[in-house]
Amino acid sequence: MAEGFDVDAPTLSRYVMQNTKDHELTILLNTLATSFKLIASAVGRAGVAQLYGLAGEVNSTGDDQKKLDVMSNDMMINALVNSGVCSVLVSEENEEPIFVPVEKSGKFCVAFDPLDGSSNIDCNVSVGTIFSVFEKKEGTVDDLLRSGADCICAGYCAYSSATELVFTFKGGSVEGFCLDPTIGEFVHTRVNMKFPADGGKRIYSCNEGNYIHWDQPIKDAVEAFKSSEKPYSARYVGSMVADIHRTLLYGGIYIYPADKKSPKGKLRCLYEGIPMALIIEQAGGIASTGLFEGKIGRVAELTPDAIHCKCPIIMGGPRDVGVVYDCYKKHGVETPEL
């Protein structure tokens, strides 16, 4: 047998079919996987196909849309609307929710950021898609304005040197799949992903350009990382998918806190905070809001009050989130048990 050729391919489809008896969920994940392949192809050909640059529109949060943002969004919406298993969709790129026509509708509601890390698109730095899935109740937008605890499946796809999908079913393990371009399939490459038990590499990841806006405990925590006896490295891609993927694999802490400039932080609750929190927690890490609206809570328990609302995020292992909590304690803030 020639080396390098598998005679068995543990594909994403196989994993999903073996791990859920829900046929509609299987269709949903296959649909998402197809849109990730389309997006990966567009991202990979962006230079030669002249897909860099602005599309000339503004998105739900007022950011300039890139051509690739618009294409990725269309790819996901077309795939999900026609899957027959979705009712309500929320995209970062659409101010309003999308209601699937009754004849095509199904039992899921999906929120997504089709191409996160927009500022990195044009310089060929990693970007990604993030999604969260909820079950349909009434078929209204309220189906998505529920506690993160109701999220039944969440994941992200990183477009980088490889295209890699990481996802989890609620209450299940976190699994990783790499796109094998030679067969056009996602292949199961990381089984039962776990946050490094000892906290892993000492890495802090945040946009330190926001330092002057931060509350004192966050400033203190970052100073503590820098002056620790075992010093930390700073790593910040500025694409949440890349920064969280590294944090999950290597350890460390990712921080995008609430601050004086952005009292709710920057990242979007429904399609950035909640899905990443589910993954981090189910891999054994901690996904905290930091001090937010008077207390420190779990991102996974937030209930969005609007589809594009924001939430602060502090994600990492107990060793490093503990450093942040200690700094809060010094300022008299009650902190949860780790």
User: Rule CB under 6 A: which of 35-64 touch ligand AHM?
Assistant: 63
User: Rule CB under 6 A: which of 112-141 touch ligand AHM?
Assistant: 113, 116-119
240 binds, among Mg ion, ligand AHM, none (CB under 5 to 8 A by kind): ligand AHM
Part of the chain binding Mg ion (CB under 5 A), chosen from 33-41, 112-120, 187-195, 319-327: 112-120
Q: For ligand AHM, which is the closer residue by CB, 119 or 216?
A: 119
Q: For ligand AHM, which is the closer residue by CB, 205 or 335?
A: 205
Active-site choice (116, 164, 243, 320): 116
Whether 175 is catalytic: no
User: Rule CB under 6 A: which of 169-208 touch ligand AHM?
Assistant: 207
Q: For ligand AHM, which is the closer residue by CB, 168 or 247?
A: 247
Binding map of Mg ion across residues 34-73, x = CB under 5 A, - = no contact: ----------------------------------------
220 binds, among Mg ion, ligand AHM, none (CB under 5 to 8 A by kind): none
Give the other-Cβ count within 10 Å of 123's Cβ.
Answer: 7
Whether 243 is catalytic: no
From the list 188, 157, 180, 130, the residue with the least C-alpha distance to 43 is 157
How far apart are the C-alpha atoms of 198 and 194, rounded to whole Å? 11
Distance from the first to the final alpha carbon of the chain: 51
User: Rule CB under 6 A: which of 245-274 touch ligand AHM?
Assistant: 266
From the list 59, 33, 76, the residue with the least C-alpha distance to 119 is 59
Given the structure tokens 């026509």, which residue do they identify?
101
Counting contacts by CB under 5 A, is residue 93 touching Mg ion? no
Counting contacts by CB under 5 A, is residue 116 touching Mg ion? yes
How far are the Cα atoms of 13, 142, 156 from residue 29, in angstroms, in the given order?
8, 23, 12
Amino acid, res. 277: A
Part of the chain binding Mg ion (CB under 5 A), chosen from 88-96, 134-142, 225-233, 325-333: 88-96
Whether 3 is catalytic: no
CA quadruple 219, 239, 193, 162: dihedral sign: negative
CA quadruple 259, 260, 266, 272: dihedral sign: positive
Active-site choice (29, 92, 144, 267): 92
Size of the site for ligand AHM (CB under 6 A): 13
Pairing of strands 203-205, 253-256: parallel
How far apart are the C-alpha atoms of 202 and 194, rounded to whole Å? 16
How far apart are the C-alpha atoms of 236 and 242, rounded to whole Å? 9
Binding site for Mg ion (CB under 5 A): 92, 113, 116
Which residues are designated catalytic?
Answer: 63, 69, 92-93, 113, 115-116, 272
